[in-house]
Structure 1
């Protein structure tokens, strides 16, 4: 097979893939991967005339695979988002370590309120953003920072629970004043 025949038409191949995927970067990657696949293929067309149609078949299959990966990634992201934003059920609420509640109280009132509303009461960051006239991203960043502060306090207070989970935890945190 004459590999120059394929390489000389690379721009046409990328345009073909870009039209079907809508992403120039992804199109370039798909063409590159397809070229490698074609060059490494055991069965290749013997005549130069059949190389281009054969390569377009490879591209069509690669485009289908790219769509499948994109859809699978979108489904996985949606599932993850639903799981992360889901309110804890009764069993999960029961399993919350009792040492966490006083540690939440030791946080700033804003952080404590945000953690209680989202993680304990099941409020969505989107709804909280609308209530307080904030962007959703701002609420998510504040929530992330509050969780990080709580994690730091939990690790400092109870290393076992922080590492292995709070299973039958009997620790009772001492009353602390709020960190500054």
Structure 2
């Protein structure tokens, strides 16, 4: 054996069993998650995690049963992660819909450079800021007109606000953190 040869662990039959069951495992996952690409991602991740543990298995029969348990756990983990992120996005969307509008005097005193800076954002961010912040459209309504989900719209508006905040800080410097009520910023 030379230095470039890799010595395979004694688990080669276990690995062969997993590889041979690829289509069956993929079909199992696809039925549970409803998306082939997602099923492929989950299967690939399960294969990677399992290869290191394969040496502990003794028989070919226990390999398949063990790997199916691994796949079931991976599906549960996927839905748990997705559920957590969807709930968080729903909370953000609800908070954005419940936001209180500033009074007319404060709204008219806001820095004039904001509109100019908003136009320098990515087009989808500029549109989100214009529709939700300037026109006062609810996030759910913006989502419908943009043809995206409410969760996606909430994320887009949040990212647009963050991008605009960074542009304001870059452009206006310290007045941005102290309230830009009498704007003297240079374009």
Q: Decide: shared fold, TM above 0.5.
A: yes
Per-residue CA distance 1:20-54 (angstroms, 9 max, x = gap): 01111111111111112221127732112211111
Per mean C-alpha deviation after superposition, the further-off stretch among 36-45 and 2-11 is: 36-45
Query: Which residue does the alignment assign to 1:37?
Result: 49
Q: Which among 62, 65, 77 is matched to residue 53 of structure 1?
A: 65
The number of residue pairs the alignment matches comes to 153
Mapped to 2, the partners of 1:117 and 1:39 lie a distance apart of 50
Q: Which among 166, 173, 180 is matched to residue 159 of structure 1?
A: 173
In the alignment, is residue 25 of structure 1 matched against residue 34 of structure 2? no
In the alignment, is residue 5 of structure 1 matched against residue 14 of structure 2? no
Mapped to 2, the partners of 1:116 and 1:25 lie a distance apart of 35
Query: Which residue does the alignment assign to 1:119?
Result: 133
Task: Give SS of 2:174's match.
Answer: helix
Mapped to 2, the partners of 1:170 and 1:101 lie a distance apart of 5
Task: Give SS of 1:173's match.
Answer: coil
TM-score by length of 2: 0.59
Structure 1: 4+ residue segments shifted above 4 A? 96-99, 101-107, 114-118, 120-123, 125-129, 146-155
- Structure 1 residue 70: deviation in Å? 1.3
Query: Which residue does the alignment assign to 2:100?
Result: 88
**Which residues of structure 1 form unaligned runs of 5+?**
108-113, 130-134
Mapped to 1, the partners of 2:170 and 2:108 lie a distance apart of 15
C-alpha distance 151-136 of structure 1, shift in aligned 2 (>3 A)? farther
* 1:130-169 pair list within 5 angstroms: 136-137=145-146, 156=171, 158-162=172-176, 165-166=177-178, 169=179
Query: Which residue does the alignment assign to 1:111?
Result: none
Mapped to 1, the partners of 2:42 and 2:17 lie a distance apart of 18
- The alignment's C-alpha RMSD in Å is 4.3
- Structure 1 residue 75: deviation in Å? 1.2
Preserved CA contact (<8 Å) 1:13 1:31: yes
